[in-house]
Amino acid sequence: MKSILIASTSTLHGSGPLEYLLDELTGHFKSASEILFVPYARPGGISHDDYTKHVSKAFEKIGKSIRGLHEFDHPKTAIKNAEGIFTGGGNTFVLVNQLYKMDVLTAIKDAVSSGTPYLGTSAGSNICGLTMNTTNDMPIVYPPSFKTLGLIPFNINPHYLDPNPDSTHMGETRETRLKEFHAFNTQPVVGLREGSWIEVKDRQLTLKGHLEARVFEYGKAPYEIKPNADLSNLN
């Protein structure tokens, strides 16, 4: 049975890494003592080792150890044998490019589809969808494909921002960008605000957290859904 947490962000303003999710993670990774960390999104260009150490501090609080995928000579075997998997945030283009380079996308999908608990934050959430095309990141590298894990039947837009009526910024809003996406693509997009996540239990998909999410469907006006809303039929 698939067991996935798809979170908008790893860190809320004024809190430590993953602090707002620690209670959820205790149950989510209850059967795992060591979690395999995928550090390739590299926020700010941080090294894989430093990123792994940073994440380890958060998981120590719930009694879990972390080991980076980059530490293994045989990454596919490491993924297959993982007790749990966490893909962190950063740049989605960098992450997806490296996953294709290492030829491990299918290995991750197979492991998660077979029941290995998975956590994604930001870029690690983007790759749970059908494609990475609704990322907010700059295309600083060019992956072989924009297709990602397809663990859920729609796309994710993490860090979704509402228009600020007091802003003097004249550029496109996030909603405008997602409407542009639907000029060329038909899959739905869920805009996750900070502190929200989607819980996947096999075929059941549920919005979690305290905030509403904004849903964009092809040919429809965007609409809001409340916490605990069922997303299982969104495709």
Q: What is the pLDDT of residues 172-186, one digit of tens each?
A: 899 999 999 999 999
Average model confidence (pLDDT) across the chain: 96
Give the closest residue to 188 by CA, choosing from 222, 133, 235, 229. 235
Of 96 and 170, the one with more pLDDT: 96
Domain spans, the chain: 3-225
> What pLDDT band is residue 35 in, cutting at 50, 70 and 90?
very high
Q: What positions carry a catalytic annotation?
A: 122, 137, 159
Report d(CA 98, CA 163) in Å as an integer: 33
Model pTM score? 0.96
- Show contacts of 227-234: CB within 8 Å, 24+ apart: 227/196, 230/204, 230/205, 230/206, 231/154, 231/190, 231/198, 231/205, 231/206, 231/207, 232/203, 232/204, 232/205, 234/153, 234/154, 234/188, 234/190, 234/205
Considering the segment(s) 3-225 as one domain, its CATH architecture is 3-Layer(aba) Sandwich (3.40)
